[in-house]
Amino acid sequence: MNVKKQIQSFLSSRMHGERSRDIILYWLPELITATILISLPPLIDSWIVSQLGSNTTYGALAMGTNFLHTLIKLAEAIPVASIAIIGRHNGAGEYEQCGQDLGDTFWTTFIFGCSQFLIIFLSAKYIYQWLGVPAKMIPIGAEFLRIKAFGVFLIFTILCFVGFMRALKNTRVPMLINMLGIAVFIVFDYMLVLGHFGFPKLGLKGSAIATIVQYSVMNVVALCYILFNPDYKKYFTTIFFAVFSWKRALHLINLSWPIVIDKSTITFSYVWLSKMIASMGKYAITSYDVVKNLERFAILPVAAAAQVVTFLVSNRLGAGDPEGAVANIKKMFMLSFATVIPSLFILSINAPYFVSFFDKKNKFGNFAASVLPIITFLVIFDFTQLVLAGALRGAGDVRTVMWGRLFSCACFFIPVSYVISQLPQAGAGHGFSTQTTGMLSAYFMVLPPISNELKFILIYGSFYVTTGLMGIIFVRRIKSRKWLTHKV
């Protein structure tokens, strides 16, 4: 398709789907929610922990949080699948069925949450050992991870309640609940980590406890809203706690497992990325955490768009309007592009300023600031796959997303990043490793060493090239239009 036809296609989308004003009203609360849920907690937590003045403790937080992010993404899988189901029932006016779907979603999510809690609690030490962090980080990180495990369980249940609200096109209340949650987290994190207002100075343990308090409050508020909101009475002829059907649960799991694989593929890629970078030393680990958190903040408009496009597509297809679903995808893509480019530009030109907040001892700031602009530019490759993956999930075409991500990561990212990690690097003083380890290290030691900055950029950049490959796969699927007739 030439450029002229492409422009005409975008312009024609204005006649279908949601009005642009309505899309923005859906998107803004999700943007605020994404900021609160995805970006602010790790940014604020990293800043507070960095005030302890220990790069070892900061590194333990960085690696642990990165691993936990994988589990949080797993927690999203069943609620995301339920959005496609509940959204269609809601669009078709089958309100009682929506309430039954919530019961099935809650109990299925509850079981998954319990299993994740046990896995983290029992294997915390071994997780840090596998990540290859310096020995001093392991006991600090393991204790943090064990306490944090209960907070992860609570995340599973709150995402179930929030997913139900989103499926009913309610993005405002999830936003408010998340605002309350982050406020509680900030207060308790500040008091418990640093020991203010009469509380003991618990260090990294305080961060884990603050998470438990945060999600406990959020669960209580969300549950009360769903049960006592008069507008939601039509969904519950029976309280959803008493509703569970193995047949519907298995259908939900069947729809969810591809999402589990596709989300865990992306988040495991971040864990793998941190493992590859960990071999470079603790200053590379802390730099990775700063760069990752800042670039996630910059790309929040796209993360919000991916959430919104899921329920917009599911509701349009439920109402028998495939052209409206396609139009909504185009509108969300244009909105994302127009809002995220300025944030990436601001982050790039002010890299030293933003990095300085997290480097209390001035040990790794120059390194992180030098690599951040290039990594930020590469984030552009992530645009297409995030929005289109959300659209395909809304249509119930979750297996395309799963296979596209699994293929890209398994066949490209993991082998390429591993090979790059084995390249010899020049020394950069204390805190950076100058040795390569692994099966290929002996072969690459004959090569001249590359700079620490270049090695870091090549490893990190291989991830975003991988997301570009995913985008190509999803574009081809969207153009085929087979996803429009996918059964949920």
Measured distance CA(311)–CA(29) in Å, rounded: 14
Element (H, E) at 397: none
Please give the pLDDT value at position 440. 57
Q: At what angle do helices 382-394 and 322-349 cross, to 10 degrees?
A: 150
Measured distance CA(295)–CA(274) in Å, rounded: 15
Measured distance CA(211)–CA(335) in Å, rounded: 32
Res. 422: pLDDT tops 60: yes
pLDDT digits over 146-164, tens only? 888 888 788 888 888 888 8
Q: Which of 18, 24, 116 is nearest to 67 (CA)?
A: 116
Element (H, E) at 244: none
Instruction: Of 72-81, 236-245, 363-372, give the lowest mean pLDDT range.
Output: 236-245
Q: Which one is predicted more confidently, 397 or 12?
A: 397
Among the ranges 140-154, 248-262, 429-443, which has the highest mean pLDDT value? 140-154
Percent of the chain topping pLDDT 70: 87
Q: At 426, list the tokens.
A: 């020049």
Measured distance CA(62)–CA(24) in Å, rounded: 34
Average pLDDT over every residue of 229-233: 82
Instruction: Kindly report the pTM of this predicted structure.
Output: 0.72
Q: Cβ atoms within 10 A of the Cβ of 439, count?
A: 8
Please give the pLDDT value at position 383. 79
Q: Cβ atoms within 10 A of the Cβ of 450, count?
A: 16
Q: Which of 398, 381, 84, 105 is nearest to 264 (CA)?
A: 398
Query: Count of residues for the chain?
Result: 488
Please give the pLDDT value at position 236. 74
For residue 411, give Cα distances in angstroms to 94, 407, 418, 439, 460.
43, 6, 12, 18, 16
pLDDT digits over 157-185, tens only? 888 888 888 888 787 888 888 889 888 99
Instruction: Of 82-86, 130-134, 241-245, 334-338, give the lowest mean pLDDT range.
Output: 241-245
Phi/psi class of residue 132: alpha, beta or left (left: φ > 0; alpha: ψ in -120 to 50)? left
